[in-house]
Amino acid sequence: MRLVREQELMVEKFVFQSPAPRVLFGRGTINAVAQELERHGISRAFVLCTGSGMQLSQRIIARAPNCGIEVLRLAYPGITREDFERATGHAKKSGADGFIVVGGGTPIGLGKAVAAHTQLRYIAVVTTYSGSEMASNWSYGKDDDARSGSSLAALPSTAIYDPDLTLGLPAQISGQSGMNAMAHAVESLYGADRSPAVETLAEAAVRVLGSSLPRVVARPTDIEARTEALYGAWLAAAFRAPVGVEHAIAQNLRKRYGLSHAGTHAVVVPYAIAFNRNAAKHAMEKIERALAVNDAGLGLYDLNVRLRIPTGLKDLGMKESDIEAAVDFVGAKPIANPRQVARADLVELITQAFHGAPPRF
């Protein structure tokens, strides 16, 4: 029997709060939508989805014939004011008492904004690894037209994670979406709200994602790998902490320059972790142990290479001439991070992330 040293049992003071939604996880859980609508007292609903979610939305309607469901397909890329106003207007006009969101970060992000403003309950049917459904923050619009906030009303009443629904996700998008989940997990390890529970689940998320994502990309029809990746994504999202320098850079750049949401996080996360290496040694040890590597930042970079996804912002459409303006834009707001982030640091971080070579800090 292994003896546990006394210091290994010491637990620091912490605060833990989890308003987590009800979760249905596993193959075939998509068939429970009608029961979940009934559970939450939703008798007249509509579906929010993008074009790629239309077929699944029609399948859901066929299985819930008594709920008066209509499909509202998003008309524009991103989470726009136009689609927000259209969805909230439809909710009022139709007399809906709830709705269903089908898809990944964009439709779920819009659904959160709609729920926060209408107070309607909804079911999230998750088809990617983004994890947006587990966060209470909401936003819509762009630039001067942007609105954002945080509300528990933005959380779904039930989140459905059916691995079969991810089988159609292309290999590259799967890899990028999974690394977006990875970004949540690794930053949770040094977030201000970390606790023993958060650290345990975040490290587990890093381990599961690091193991499953290469298998998903190598063989997209591997349902066991898909199931593990979806589980890892849920772990990463369920207890994520306030953002650090990775999210500060990735979220701002992808909005400002119209870059892929998941792709931008996938690119930036190795550089942010490498930058924080000496300021968050406890987190680095957990990442390195979970990935079985000697260097957390390089380990995450090598994982991107194994997943055959872009490693540089230039590959996503950002221009080198954008770097200076990007630094000013990201640096205009305070960044909560274990290491202080000066302007020169942002220049180095964004420049390295732009070119996509292995991180050097």
What residue type is 203 in one-letter code?
A: E
3-state secondary structure of 159: strand
The pLDDT value given to residue 340: 95
DSSP state, 127?
-
Phi, psi of 201 (to 5 degrees): -70, -35
121-137 mean pLDDT: 92
Average pLDDT taken over every residue of the chain: 91
139-157 mean pLDDT: 89
224 C-beta neighbours (distance < 10 Å), count: 12
pLDDT at residue 20 is higher than 80: no
Report the percent of the chain where pLDDT is more than 90. Answer: 76
pLDDT at residue 166 is higher than 70: yes
The pLDDT value given to residue 7: 38
Most confidently modeled range among 49-53, 90-94, 278-282? 278-282
Kindly list the domain boundaries of the chain, sorted by start residue. 22-166, 171-355
DSSP state, 2?
P
| Angstrom distance (rounded) from CA 63 to CA 53 | 16
Q: Which CATH superfamily is domain 171-355 in?
A: Dehydroquinate synthase-like - alpha domain (1.20.1090.10)
The pLDDT value given to residue 46: 93
Could you tell me the fold of the domain covering 22-166? Answer: Rossmann fold (3.40.50)
| Angstrom distance (rounded) from CA 47 to CA 5 | 54
| Angstrom distance (rounded) from CA 278 to CA 252 | 25
User: What token pair was written down for 344?
Assistant: 């020169």
Q: Report residue 2's pLDDT band, with 50, 70 and 90 as the boundaries.
A: very low
Q: Report residue 13's pLDDT band, with 50, 70 and 90 as the boundaries.
A: low
Reported pTM: 0.91
pLDDT at residue 9 is higher than 70: no
220-254 confidence digits (pLDDT tens): 999 999 999 999 999 998 866 566 999 999 999 99
22-58 confidence digits (pLDDT tens): 999 999 999 999 999 999 999 999 999 999 899 999 9
131-135 mean pLDDT: 89
Contact at 8 Å (CB) between 189 and 286? yes
165-172 mean pLDDT: 95
The angle, 0 to 180 degrees and rounded to 10, between the axes of the packed helices 323-331 and 343-355 is: 130
305-343 confidence digits (pLDDT tens): 999 999 999 999 999 999 999 999 999 989 999 999 999
